[in-house]
Structure 1
Amino acid sequence: MTDTPHPGRHGRLSVMCSAVDGVRIVALHGEIDHAVTDELSRALIPVDGATPPRTVVDLSDVTFMDSSGINVFIAAHHRVNESRGWLRIAAPQEPVLRVIQLIGLDAVIPCHATLEQARTA
């Protein structure tokens, strides 16, 4: 496993990227709103394109997400699918899970109760 902080930190969101068995783990901490969409996009959409991206986004420490976060997830999902990869969501807290379910994002991007389930599904 490798841990690397994502360049740049906004006061309300921090991003930690790691890899386990070829799966990128993007752990987010804080709040996801319009002020952090650029940083979130950079974290979710890989630049290198060498291999199909397999990414799990750990939302266990995200306390708030609005529609701008949903939009970033949908854009990232489309980009990753174009590269024949996948994007999964792991361990959202109840308030964030309600937003995900209300919007129907969990019907587009698989959402799992734990990081391990998301990584190995």
Structure 2
Amino acid sequence: MAEKEMADTKSAEQLERLTVVATATDGMHVLTLSEEIDHDTGDAFRQALNLAGTPCPRVVVDLRQVAFMDSSGINVLIAAHRALTGAGGWLRLAGPTGVVLRTLQLVGVDTVIDCHENLDEALTGRRVS
């Protein structure tokens, strides 16, 4: 019984460390994330990005409220980018800040995946001056 309680507690902790809110606007899927993307929460992020069977999937990931992202998050983003572009769609990132933005820049993800300063820019695909 104690083992089951521990498993339930860990699941609850994982959910508290990453919140994903999925919405749709103008045929685009918008995932608004908050908290942390790491080894423990990467699967939840991966599942949220799984749009298998969706024709020309267009996805914006709003990172404004993400405080931390490690290589697990980077791997999820790269895999999703490949899958979405392979299906004729795209992936855009909106509003990464602080350590998350720095991580994206250090590994060069910002040169592979379209990154925007805010959600409006990501939704339109244009830079606002």
TM-score (norm. length: structure 1): 0.89
Structure 1 residue 81 and structure 2 residue 85: aligned? yes
Query: 1 CA distance for matches of 2:50 and 2:91?
Result: 10
Question: Percent of pairs identical after alignment?
Answer: 49
Q: Which contiguous aligned blocks of 4+ residues in structure 1 show a shift greater than 2 angstroms?
A: none
> Which residue in 2 is equivalent to 1:5?
none
Partner AA of 1:42 in structure 2: Q
| 1:59, distance to aligned residue in structure 2 (A) | 0.2
Residue 105 of structure 2, aligned match among 101, 107, 120? 101
Unaligned runs of 5+ in 2: 1-11
Counting matched residue pairs gives: 113
| 1:115, distance to aligned residue in structure 2 (A) | 0.3
TM-score (norm. length: structure 2): 0.84
Q: Deviations over 1:1-45 (max 9, x none)?
A: xxxxxxx96120010000111111000010000001111001112
Partner AA of 1:37 in structure 2: G
Bigger fraction of residues in strand? 1
Query: 1 CA distance for matches of 2:110 and 2:97?
Result: 14
3-state DSSP class of the match of 1:40?
helix
Structure 1 residue 53 and structure 2 residue 57: aligned? yes
CA RMSD of aligned residues (A): 1.3
Q: Report which of the two structures shows the higher radius of gyration computed on alpha carbons.
A: 2
Query: 1 CA distance for matches of 2:98 and 2:16?
Result: 22
Query: 2 CA distance for matches of 1:118 and 1:28?
Result: 15
> Which residue in 2 is equivalent to 1:22?
27
Bigger fraction of residues in helix? 2
Unaligned runs of 5+ in 1: 1-7
> Which residue in 2 is equivalent to 1:33?
38
> Which residue in 2 is equivalent to 1:63?
67
3-state DSSP class of the match of 1:11?
helix
